[in-house]
Amino acid sequence: MENELGRGGEGSVYAVRANSNAVAKIYHQAITSEKQDKIRMMVNMKSDSLLKFTTWPTDILTDAKGQVIGFLMPKLKGKEIHKLYGPKTRLLEFQNATYSFLIHTAANLARAFATVHENGHVIGDINHGNFYVSDQATVMLLDCDSFQIGTSNRLFKCEVGIPMYQPPELQEITSFRDLTRTQNHDNFGLALFIFLLLFMGRHPFAGRYLGPGEMPIEKAIKEYRFAYSSSAQGMLIQPPPGTIHMKTIPDQLTGLFERAFSKESLRGDTRPKPKEWIEALDRLSDNLIRCSHKEGHIFSSVNKGCPWCELEQKTGVVLFHATIFATSPVNSSFALHQIWKQILGVTSPGLPMKLPTLSSIRMEPDYKLVKQFKRSKTRRRFSAIPIFIGFVTLLAFPTAWFIIVVMTAIVTSTIYRADNSGLKQEFVKKRNEAQQRWDNISSRWLKEASDELFNQKKMRLEKAKQEYEGLDQLRAEKIKQLGVNQREVQLQSFLESHRIDDARIEGIGPSRKATLEAFGIETGLDVTVHTVRQVPGFGPTYTRKLLEWKNSIERKFVFNPKQGIPQSDIVNLDRDILAQRKKLEQELLSGPNQLLQIGNQIKARRSALWPEVEQAARELAQEISNIQYL
């Protein structure tokens, strides 16, 4: 054996000189006879299927007395699974990982569980340190000597477990030593880690509790408070801010999560089994689509838009790198000068015709009106008869002069008004109605027949052309700015390299760390007074402890002016430039057709509206002429 490769609480792992594909685990202290029997039995039970997914013991290592002191196992390849499902560490550790990669990893994790279960064993101690993922999304299970190993006549139990990954029925267990695990217990942990992979490292039971007091993850698990469930509101819990919702995945997967985390999961062996997950995840893999705006954004076809674009915009956190990094155009056949020539070749619909001037429209009064008006003149002449009669009566009865004058005036006025006032009111009403129609159609014409939409689109395309031509300059300016801010960039990168999950902070154990991660606080860079105080259960005391930890890290930072700009920052910058370039190319490519379509629509509206304009103008001119005649 050669150099030490890793050290844990129980033993250390060493390289094996004689076999580069194997490593040796040596226990720090002598193990019990029962543990020795377990290792011997596991070596005898090894199989190709188990060795494909686990670091299963292949040979025992003994001391001079024949006591088991360790064993040989396959050499581990890959990285801890939490470095994959945590967005910030994923960008550093799995730079080419897309959502498709996460789904594939989840399916392979389910295959690993299925293999262990098919061989009659139970994993038991499910935690993020026991699953490793390779760059090909293959999964390996570690610490197999802690599994619950069963044969027809003997059972070696799993004596350890982390509560935040254990099912509700095991939350009050004070010791796992005498507990017989079931595969249904494992199925809870499998569902939990698949959720972590698909939901960007968010623990399914770490949410914002709406009731009184605190709700740590272990308690939430015990009380079935699945934060993303359709019944979460009734459980007084909701997802943390800056998370995706269950509608981003197909209903089949949603149903599996609901089954895995509900009270009904206790009724028999009802939690989804590994094969159910494999089937659902493989189906999801077959129904993925790519984002039209950002390289590296792949998502389920059940979504109407890209959930990653929306989440990145909401949180400011980059979730996936682009699969291709370049500053050259995405579309190699894209030629700006040719596209722009086509855009300029689209003919403008021009200015709309001016509205008719009412005064220029000559309309004769309505024939019926003229005829009726002539009859009215005749009747007006008869209005002199009451006056004549009144005068004669007055001469005959001078003493009743007052009554005679009043009656004569009333009769004369009635005859005159009855003949003229009703007619004028009728035509005033018609004129007002015609005026309203004219105002409405005039307003529509000025709005719908205008070439404003065409000009606006043309201006937007001109702006897109300028932006496209300036992308290289924009990149150069941003690179320069990164150089100016080199110290701050290095400090941020330094803080981001320190994970809270790896830190020892008094009072902040695995459960609280998972809660922080569920609220997007993964590294030292994420720790601020504002972000921490948003997390339920993190008051002034825990905030102070986290800030002290962050400050202790900052004190270790040493600025290196020769280091240059971190490659990860350049990669992220090129990713954004690439996304802008692709978006602008698509906009410019569709420009000629869109301009032509807008122009045709304007012309069509003009053709449809102009007869209405002329009709309304003639009707109003007619009514004006009628009123003037009266």
Catalytic site includes residue 125: yes
- The pair phi, psi for residue 508, each rounded to 5°, is -115, 95
Q: How many CA atoms within 13 Å lie on the side-chain side of 112?
A: 30
DSSP string, 384-405: HHHHHHHHHHHHH-GGGHHHHH
3-state secondary structure of 69: strand
Q: What CA–CA distance (Å, rounded) separates 508 from 541?
A: 11
CA distances to 52, 116, 145, 457 from 109, in Å: 12, 11, 19, 51
Structure tokens at 342: 């086509």
- The pair phi, psi for residue 139, each rounded to 5°, is -120, 140
Please name which of 560, 563, 569 lies closest in space to residue 475, comparing C-alpha atoms.
569
Q: What CA–CA distance (Å, rounded) separates 120 from 555?
A: 52
CB 44 within 8 A of CB 36: no
Dihedral of alpha carbons 90, 94, 98, 99, sign: negative
CB 116 within 8 A of CB 147: yes
Q: What CA–CA distance (Å, rounded) separates 375 from 358?
A: 30
- The pair phi, psi for residue 8, each rounded to 5°, is -125, -175
CB 604 within 8 A of CB 352: no
3-state secondary structure of 499: strand
Q: Quote the radius of gyration of the chain (alpha carbons, Å).
A: 42
Exposure of 467 by Cβ count < 10 A (0-12 exposed, 13-18 middle, 19+ buried)?
middle
* End-to-end CA separation in angstroms for the chain: 119
Q: What CA–CA distance (Å, rounded) separates 550 from 552?
A: 5
Exposure of 267 by Cβ count < 10 A (0-12 exposed, 13-18 middle, 19+ buried)?
exposed
Q: Tell me which DSSP letter residue 508 carries.
A: B
Q: What CA–CA distance (Å, rounded) separates 27 from 147?
A: 16
Give 12's strand partners: 7, 26
3-state secondary structure of 368: helix
**Which of the residues 37, 59, 63, 125 is marked catalytic?**
125
Residues 6+ apart with CB under 8 A from 597: none
CB 135 within 8 A of CB 79: no
Residues 6+ apart with CB under 8 A from 414: none
Q: What CA–CA distance (Å, rounded) separates 538 from 560?
A: 35
Residues 6+ apart with CB under 8 A from 553: 494, 495, 498, 524
Q: Which positions are annotated as active-site residues?
A: 125
